[in-house]
Copies of this chain bind each other. A is one copy, B any other.
Amino acid sequence: MRVYLDCWPCFLRQALSASRRAGASPALQRAILEETMTELRALPAEATPPEMGERIHRLVRERTRVSDPYLDVKQEATALAMALLPELRARVAADADPLETAVRIAITGNIIDYGVAESFDLEATLERVLHATPAIDDLPVLRRALEQVDTVLYLADNAGETVFDRVLIETLPVPVRYAVKAGPVLNDATRDEAIAAGLDQVAELTDTGCDAMGAPLGLCSPAFRASFERAPLIIAKGQANYETLSGVAAPVCFLLQAKCAVIAEDIGVAPGSVIIAASERLRTQIDPQEGVQS
């Protein structure tokens, strides 16, 4: 998904919010907004929103000399989510369809996103997502794929959301590689936040090799790209992974809430929708009725 003009105001809002989180003075906040506007003018037409987001957050880190402005909110979100872990596991265990419940729980965690809003309500989101009718529901494709693959590459999104991912990973029948960011960007999970959420106990931790949001393959490490190309099934969490991978031919199942109105319109759903979307490649690779086609 490319940057829409509708993203421009949102980029300024994010730059201002990140500057303040990093403790920038009003003069520095203004300077960062001005540099963000310069970057916007120069943005290549094919750039995706996470690529611009990455520039903004790098700019804020460099100008404020604060290496991780979201460290405290990442730790808070992880602690909040960890407190819910027993309840989340109990819900999966009590349900007749543990996979569906675990997938919805993983999508619930996607509400933890400081790029879109400054606060969130986990409990209310859990009830909403558990009972929502997904606007796109490729759960049958995902279910069938999980029966046919021997490993999953799971692309993480935000800190705290990691705990919700853990519940899904504990439910999956195959080994998982869990890919976080190689360095801080926004409130995205890095190795530290994955370990704080216990992901090292349920998956092999890896990273994208870069500190971009989502997984823009051109910026990721060769090792990550190789792992991405080999993966028979990729579960990609959240908006930034959708934005950077929606145009890539790979066997991906996107799990997200379409929180942003622009992304929702790009997908063709109402804002706030719950999305379980198989890529074309995954859909053709897996036949829900007959097994592998290609």
| Residues of chain B with a CB closer than 8 A to A9's CB | 9-10, 12-13, 16
How many of chain A's residues have a CB under 8 angstroms from any CB in B?
16
- One complex includes copies of this chain to the number of 2
Partner of A33, one of B5, B13, B16: B5
Instruction: Let me know if A266 is at the binding interface, CB within 8 A.
Output: no
Contact bitstring A31-43, B, C-beta under 8 A = 1, else 0: 0011001001100
Is A30 a contact of B5 with CB atoms below 8 Å? Answer: yes
Instruction: Let me know if A241 is at the binding interface, CB within 8 A.
Output: no
| Residues of chain B with a CB closer than 8 A to A29's CB | 5
Complex alpha-carbon distance, A179 and B162, angstroms: 57
Which residue in chain B gives the minimum CB-CB distance to A30? B5
| Residues of chain B with a CB closer than 8 A to A12's CB | 8-9, 12
Complex alpha-carbon distance, A26 and B16, angstroms: 26
Chain A stretch 1-50: residues in CB contact (< 8 A) with chain B: 5-6, 8-10, 12-13, 16, 26, 29-30, 33-34, 37, 40-41
Chain A stretch 160-176: residues in CB contact (< 8 A) with chain B: none
Complex alpha-carbon distance, A30 and B6, angstroms: 10
| Residues of chain B with a CB closer than 8 A to A37's CB | 37, 40-41
Which residue in chain B gives the minimum CB-CB distance to A29? B5
Is B26 a contact of A5 with CB atoms below 8 Å? Answer: yes
A13–chain B nearest beta-carbon distance, Å: 4
A113–chain B nearest beta-carbon distance, Å: 17
| Residues of chain B with a CB closer than 8 A to A10's CB | 9
Contact bitstring A90-115, B, C-beta under 8 A = 1, else 0: 00000000000000000000000000
Is A34 a contact of B30 with CB atoms below 8 Å? Answer: no
| Residues of chain B with a CB closer than 8 A to A26's CB | 5
Chain A stretch 34-73: residues in CB contact (< 8 A) with chain B: 34, 37, 40-41
| Residues of chain B with a CB closer than 8 A to A40's CB | 37
A200–chain B nearest beta-carbon distance, Å: 38
Complex alpha-carbon distance, A9 and B6, angstroms: 10
Complex alpha-carbon distance, A34 and B37, angstroms: 8
| Residues of chain B with a CB closer than 8 A to A41's CB | 34, 37
| Residues of chain B with a CB closer than 8 A to A13's CB | 9
Complex alpha-carbon distance, A12 and B12, angstroms: 9
| Residues of chain B with a CB closer than 8 A to A33's CB | 5, 8
Complex alpha-carbon distance, A10 and B16, angstroms: 12
| Residues of chain B with a CB closer than 8 A to A30's CB | 5
Would you give 19 A-B contacts (Cβ < 8 Å), ordered by A?
A: A5-B16, A5-B26, A5-B29, A5-B30, A5-B33, A6-B16, A8-B12, A8-B16, A8-B33, A9-B9, A9-B10, A9-B12, A9-B13, A9-B16, A12-B12, A34-B41, A37-B37, A37-B40, A37-B41
Give the top 4 A-B pairs by smallest Cβ distance, nearest first.
A9-B12, A9-B13, A9-B9, A37-B37
